[in-house]
Amino acid sequence: AQKVTQAQTEISVVEKEDVTLDCVYETRDTTYYLFWYKQPPSGELVFLIRRNSFDEQNEISGRYSWNFQKSTSSFNFTITASQVVDSAVYFCALNEEGRRALTFGSGTRLQVQP
Amino acid sequence: GAGVSQTPSNKVTEKGKYVELRCDPISGHTALYWYRQSLGQGPEFLIYFQGTGAADDSGLPNDRFFAVRPEGSVSTLKIQRTERGDSAVYLCASSLLGGASSTQYFGPGTRLLVL
C-alpha cells in the first residue's frame, strides 16, 4: 500500500528566509510518481512538480527546488527567499504505476510573515 | 485555456437530503477524478473515470455515493440521504490521459455542509 507522510503540520518563517518542507513516502513498487501541490487560501490545488522514480535528479524552478532521494524515500521541497505569497498549504502526493488515485500526505501549512 | 470548474462552490443542505455536485473538466481531458477533503487533511480519492466509464470506484465510502459521466466530459457526483459526516470539500480533477504519470489538475472544489 502507498503512504505519504508530511510530519510538519505547520511552519512559520519570516519573509526572505529559506524553508524546507519534508515528504516521506512508502511504496512497494519500483515505478511510481511523486507530486507537489500548493493549496492557497482560495482552496484550489495548484500543481507544482511531478517526478518519476527513475529520475533522481534534483530540480530547480526559480525560488523552488526539490530533492528526491530514493535511499531515504524522501521528496523534499525547498523555497528560497520565501515571500508572503508563498503562504499556503503544501501537499506531497504519490501515485504507483497501474493506479489512478493520488495518495496525499496531510499537508504542511506554511505561513510567511512580512 | 479554462481550468476545471465546479458548481456550486458552496452547498448547504439538511441531513437526509439529496445533493448533486457538478464538475466540468479541462477540454480534451479523458480522465476525471473525484476526491474528498476534510478539514486539515489531504484529499482522499473517491472515483476515477476514463471516458464515460467509472474505471475505479473503490474510494466511494458507501452506496449513498454515486457518480456519472454520461458523455465523457461533465461529471456529476450524487449523494443520497446526506449525513453530517459527508460535510467536506469535494474536489474534481482531470488529466489528459489516465496513467499514473498523468498530472491531475484540480478545480476549486465544492464545499458541502450538511446540517
* Calpha distance B5→B8 (Å, rounded): 9
Query: CB-CB: which of A4, A45, A50 is closest to B106?
Result: A45
Over the stretch A74-107, which tens digit does the pLDDT of each residue have?
999 999 999 999 999 999 999 998 888 999 999 9
Nearest to B6 by CA among B30, B24, B28: B24
Over the stretch B24-54, which tens digit does the pLDDT of each residue have?
999 999 999 999 999 999 999 999 999 888 8
Stretch A19-35: mean pLDDT: 96
In this predicted structure, the answer to whether residue B97 has a pLDDT above a threshold of 90 is no
| pLDDT for B99 | 85
Contact A43 B109 (CB under 8 A): yes
Confidence tier at B1 by pLDDT (50, 70, 90): low
Distances (CA, A) of A74 to A34, A39, A53, B14: 10, 21, 11, 43
Please list every residue in chain B whose beta carbon sits closer than 8 Å to the beta carbon of residue A35.
Answer: 103
Interface size between A and B, measured as CB pairs under 8 A: 67
